[in-house]
C-alpha cells in the first residue's frame, strides 16, 4: 500500500477500530448466546471510550441470519445509540453474506443523523460507496471505500452454458472491476482534499470476501460465498492507493497475501468449538504524525458506571478475565495467495484429532499478558496497526479421547463457572451408554455438554446402513448425499446433481427475504 511521506498528517492521530462478524443472534447447538453478545458490545463500548476511537468499522455479518430476532435487533440499535453519544465520530457498517442488505439499508437515512453510515447493497452509482468522514470541527479525517459483500448478481451477469472456470473468471473480474472503480473515485477525492488541506487524507477500503489462501477452522459456520467456493480474491485486487483494507468473513484474524495493511479482524466471539482455542481480537488502525504508544495502556479499568442495554448487566464475570494474545496468525504464511486451499498457521486453530487430549481455552490464561500488541508500523511512523484482545465471555472446550480420558477430563474441570463442552469419543470400543456416563459426571455442576460425537457408533451405523443419525449431526450436503445413496443414484449422475443442489442452497442463503 502506498503511503504519502510528502504531505503531513493531522496533528491529532486518527484512530479507527476494525471489527467484523458479530453474528448477533447466532446459536451454538441450540444454545442462546445473547449474554455473550451483550457482554461483547459493552466491552466494545468501553474499548472505544478508552482508546478514544474516532471511527468504528464493522466489515459485515452483523447478524447471523437475514431475519434477525427482535432481541438481536435491539442489541444492534441500542449499541448504535450508545456509541453515537460517545467520542466516536462515525460508525461505518457494510453488509456481509449473512446479512439482509435491504434490512440494513432500511433505516440508513435515519442512522445518518447519528453519523452511522450503512451500506447494505452494492450501489448502482459506485460513488455512493465513497464516504468522506469529517471531524467534529468539519475537517476531513479519512475517505472510506465502503464496499459491502458483493453478491453474484452485483458483479456478474449469468450466461447460458458457462463452465465453472468461466463463472469463476467472470466473478473475479467483476469484483476486481468494482474495486478498481471505487479506487479511482477515492483517489480523485483524496487528491482534491490533499491539495486543499495540505496533508495526507488516508483511504480505508472495506470488504466481505474470501481471500485466496485464507485460513479457516472447523465448525466456524463460514459459508461459501459463491457456488463451488468460487470468488477467492488475491491481495492485488486492492489498489495500492488504499492505506488500509478492513475485511470481514473469515473468523480467524489474519493478514492477506503478506500485506500488513490488508487484514481480517476475525470474529470477536468463538462461533463454534473449532474456534475455542483462538484468542479473539479487534484491530486499532491509527494515522498521524505522533502515534499513540498503546503498549503503555493497561487493562480496561472498571467502568465508573455500568453500561447496559437492558435490565441485565452487560459485562459478565467472564468478561473481566485476562486472556493472552494469540500471535499474528499470518506471520509465517507465504505471501503468495494464488492457492485456494486453507493454510496452516503458527497457532493451532483446528481440532487435533491425533492427540487424545483436552483442547480448550482455559489453560491459556496468563494474568501477565498485555491487552494490546503492535502488529505493524510503517517506515515513517505515520501509521500503525495494533490488536486489542477481546475477553472470553463464554468458555468453550473440546474434549476428545478414550472413555476414561474423557471422564477424567470432565472430572478435573473447575466448577465455579459455566463451561460449554463438546465431547468426541475416539476409542475403538463401542460405548453405547456414552451419553449416560457423561451426564452422571456433569450432573449438579455448571458444566454443559452441548454435543457428543461417538465416532464408533456413527461408523457402525454407516456400515450397517441403519439410519439413526439426527439432522443435528448432518449439514445440508450430507443429507443430500444420504438421499443419493438411499435411492441408488448412479455415480455418473451424482456430480451434476450435487452442483444443481449446491446452486439451490446458495440461492436459499443468498435470497434477501426482506426485499420486495
What percentage of the chain exceeds 70 in pLDDT?
A: 73
Q: Cell 463463472 belongs to which residue? A: 167
In angstroms, the first-to-last Cα distance of the chain is: 40
Per-residue pLDDT reduced to its tens digit, 178-227: 999 999 999 999 999 999 999 999 999 999 998 887 787 776 666 555 44
> Which one has a higher pLDDT value, 148 or 476?
148
Taking residues 69-97, report their average pLDDT: 94
Q: Is the pLDDT of residue 449 over 70?
A: yes
Residue among 464, 465, 484, 468 nearest 476 (CA) = 484
Assign residue 225 a region (left: φ > 0; alpha: ψ between -120 and 50; beta: otherwise). Answer: alpha
Q: Is the pLDDT of residue 364 over 50?
A: no
> Which one has a higher pLDDT value, 361 or 489?
489
> In whole angstroms, what is the distance from residue 340 CA to residue 203 CA?
28
Per-residue pLDDT reduced to its tens digit, 243-267: 999 999 999 999 999 999 999 999 9
> In whole angstroms, what is the distance from residue 387 CA to residue 396 CA?
22
Crossing angle of helices 434-442 and 403-412, rounded to 10°? 10
Secondary structure (H, E, C), 178-238: HHHHHHHHHHHHHHHHHHHHCECCCEEEEEECCECCCCCCCCCCCCCCCHHHCCCECHHHC
Taking residues 51-60, report their average pLDDT: 96
**CB 241, CB 186: distance < 8 Å:** yes
What pLDDT was estimated at residue 1?
Answer: 56
What pLDDT was estimated at residue 480?
Answer: 84
Q: Which grid coordinates belong to 388?
A: 486489542
Query: CB neighbours of 101 closer than 8 A, spacing ≥ 6?
Result: 95, 120, 121, 148, 151, 512, 514, 515
Q: How many CB atoms lie within 10 A of CB 340?
A: 13
Please report the DSSP string for 120-157 in residue order: -S--SSGGGGEEEEE-TTS-EEEEEE------HHHH--
What pLDDT was estimated at residue 243?
Answer: 97
> In whole angstroms, what is the distance from residue 399 CA to residue 359 CA?
6
> In whole angstroms, what is the distance from residue 119 CA to residue 97 CA?
13
> In whole angstroms, what is the distance from residue 370 CA to residue 387 CA?
10
> In whole angstroms, what is the distance from residue 35 CA to residue 349 CA?
24
* Numbered ranges of CATH 3.60.21.10 in the chain: 14-157+165-298
Q: Cell 441403519 belongs to which residue? A: 466
What pLDDT was estimated at residue 99?
Answer: 94
Q: Which grid coordinates belong to 331?
A: 506471520
What percentage of the chain exceeds 90 in pLDDT?
A: 54
pLDDT band at 507 (very low <50, low <70, confident <90, very high): low
Q: What are phi and psi of 50, to 5 degrees?
A: -65, -45
Q: How deeply is 487 buried, as exposed, middle or buried, from its count of CB atoms within 10 A (0-12, 13-18, 19+)?
A: exposed
What pLDDT was estimated at residue 157?
Answer: 64
CATH no. for 14-157+165-298:
3.60.21.10
Taking residues 105-130, report their average pLDDT: 95
Q: Is the pLDDT of residue 161 over 60?
A: yes
pLDDT band at 349 (very low <50, low <70, confident <90, very high): very low
How far is the CA of 160 from the CAs of 170, 282, 494, in angstroms? 13, 43, 21
pLDDT band at 508 (very low <50, low <70, confident <90, very high): low
> In whole angstroms, what is the distance from residue 438 CA to residue 415 CA?
15
CA 199, distance to chain mean position in Å, is: 33
Q: Which grid coordinates belong to 339?
A: 492457492
> In whole angstroms, what is the distance from residue 516 CA to residue 514 CA?
7
Q: Which grid coordinates belong to 188?
A: 480523485
* Numbered ranges of CATH 3.30.160.720 in the chain: 395-459
Q: Is the pLDDT of residue 359 over 80?
A: no
Q: Is the pLDDT of residue 356 over 50?
A: no
Q: Is the pLDDT of residue 488 over 60?
A: yes
pLDDT band at 316 (very low <50, low <70, confident <90, very high): very low
Q: Is the pLDDT of residue 233 over 90?
A: no
Secondary structure (H, E, C), 456-493: HHHHHHHHHCCCCCCHHHCCHHHHHHHHHHHCCCCCCC
Secondary structure (H, E, C), 7-44: CECCCCCEEEEEECCCCECCCECCECCHHHHHHHHHHH
Average pLDDT, the chain: 80
Q: Is the pLDDT of residue 165 over 50?
A: yes
Per-residue pLDDT reduced to its tens digit, 367-391: 344 588 999 999 988 999 999 999 9
> Which one has a higher pLDDT value, 214 or 411?
411
CATH of 395-459, one of 3.30.160.720, 3.40.640.10, 3.90.1150.10, 3.40.50.12780: 3.30.160.720
Q: How many CB atoms lie within 10 A of CB 228?
A: 14
E strand or H helix that includes residue 274: none
Amino acid at each position: 500500500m502506498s503511503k504519502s511521506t510528502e504531505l503531513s498528517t493531522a496533528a491529532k492521530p486518527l484512530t479507527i477500530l476494525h471489527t467484523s462478524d458479530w453474528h448477533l443472534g447466532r446459536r451454538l447447538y441450540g444454545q442462546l448466546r445473547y449474554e455473550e453478545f451483550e457482554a461483547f458490545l459493552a466491552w466494545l463500548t468501553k474499548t472505544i471510550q478508552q482508546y478514544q476511537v474516532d471511527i468504528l468499522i464493522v466489515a459485515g455479518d452483523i447478524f447471523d441470519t437475514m431475519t434477525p430476532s427482535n432481541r438481536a435487533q435491539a442489541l444492534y440499535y441500542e449499541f448504535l445509540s450508545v456509541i453515537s453519544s460517545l467520542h466516536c465520530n462515525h460508525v461505518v457498517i457494510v453488509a456481509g453474506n449473512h446479512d439482509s442488505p435491504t434490512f440494513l439499508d432500511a433505516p440508513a437515512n435515519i442512522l445518518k443523523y447519528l453519523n452511522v453510515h450503512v451500506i447494505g447493497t452494492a450501489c448502482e452509482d459506485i460513488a455512493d460507496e465513497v464516504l468522506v468522514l469529517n471531524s467534529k470541527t468539519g475537517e476531513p479525517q479519512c475517505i472510506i471505500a465502503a464496499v459491502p459483500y458483493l453478491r453474484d448478481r452485483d458483479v456478474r451477469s449469468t450466461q447460458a452454458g458457462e463452465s465453472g472456470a468461466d463463472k469463476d473468471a467472470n466473478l473475479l473480474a467483476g469484483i476486481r472491476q468494482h474495486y478498481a472503480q471505487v479506487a479511482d473515485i477515492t483517489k480523485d477525492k483524496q487528491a482534491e482534499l490533499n491539495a486543499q488541506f495540505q496533508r495526507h487524507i488516508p483511504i480505508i477500503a472495506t470488504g466481505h470476501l474470501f481471500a485466496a489462501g485464507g485460513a479457516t477452522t472447523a465448525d466456524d459456520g463460514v459459508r461459501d460465498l459463491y457456488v463451488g467456493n468460487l470468488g477467492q480474491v488475491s491481495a492485488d485486487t486492492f489498489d495500492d492507493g488504499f492505506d488500509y483494507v478492513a475485511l470481514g468473513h473469515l473468523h480467524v484474524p489474519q493478514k492477506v497475501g503478506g500485506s500488513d495493511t490488508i487484514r481480517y479482524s476475525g470474529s470477536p466471539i468463538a462461533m463454534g468449538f473449532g474456534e475455542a482455542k483462538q484468542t479473539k481480537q479487534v484491530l486499532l488502525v491509527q494515522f498521524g504524525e505522533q502515534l499513540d504508544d498503546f503498549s503503555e495502556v493497561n487493562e480496561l479499568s472498571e467502568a465508573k458506571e455500568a453500561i447496559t442495554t437492558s435490565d441485565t448487566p452487560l459485562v459478565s464475570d467472564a468478561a473481566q478475565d485476562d486472556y493472552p494474545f494469540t500471535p499474528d496468525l499470518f506471520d509465517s504464511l507465504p505471501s503468495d495467495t494464488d492457492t485456494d486451499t486453507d493454510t496452516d498457521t503458527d497457532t493451532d486453530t483446528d481440532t487435533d484429532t491425533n492427540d487424545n487430549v483436552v483442547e480448550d481455552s482455559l489453560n491459556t490464561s496468563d494474568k501477565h499478558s498485555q491487552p494490546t500488541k503492535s502488529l505493524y508500523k510503517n517506515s515513517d511512523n505515520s501509521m500503525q496497526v495494533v490488536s486489542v484482545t477481546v475477553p472470553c465471555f463464554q468458555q468453550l472446550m473440546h474434549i476428545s479421547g478414550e472413555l476414561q480420558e474423557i471422564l477424567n477430563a470432565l472430572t478435573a474441570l473447575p466448577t465455579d463457572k459455566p463451561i460449554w463442552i463438546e465431547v468426541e469419543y475416539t476409542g475403538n470400543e463401542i460405548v453405547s451408554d456414552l451419553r449416560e456416563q457423561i451426564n452422571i459426571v456433569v450432573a449438579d455442576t455448571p458444566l454443559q455438554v452441548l454435543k457428543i460425537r461417538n465416532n464408533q457408533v456413527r461408523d457402525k451405523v454407516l456400515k450397517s446402513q441403519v439410519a439413526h443419525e439426527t439432522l443435528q449431526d448432518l449439514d445440508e450436503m450430507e443429507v443430500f448425499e444420504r438421499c443419493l445413496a438411499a435411492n441408488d443414484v448412479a455415480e455418473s449422475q451424482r456430480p451434476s446433481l450435487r452442483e444443481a443442489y449446491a446452486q439451490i442452497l446458495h440461492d436459499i442463503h443468498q435470497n434477501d427475504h426482506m426485499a420486495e
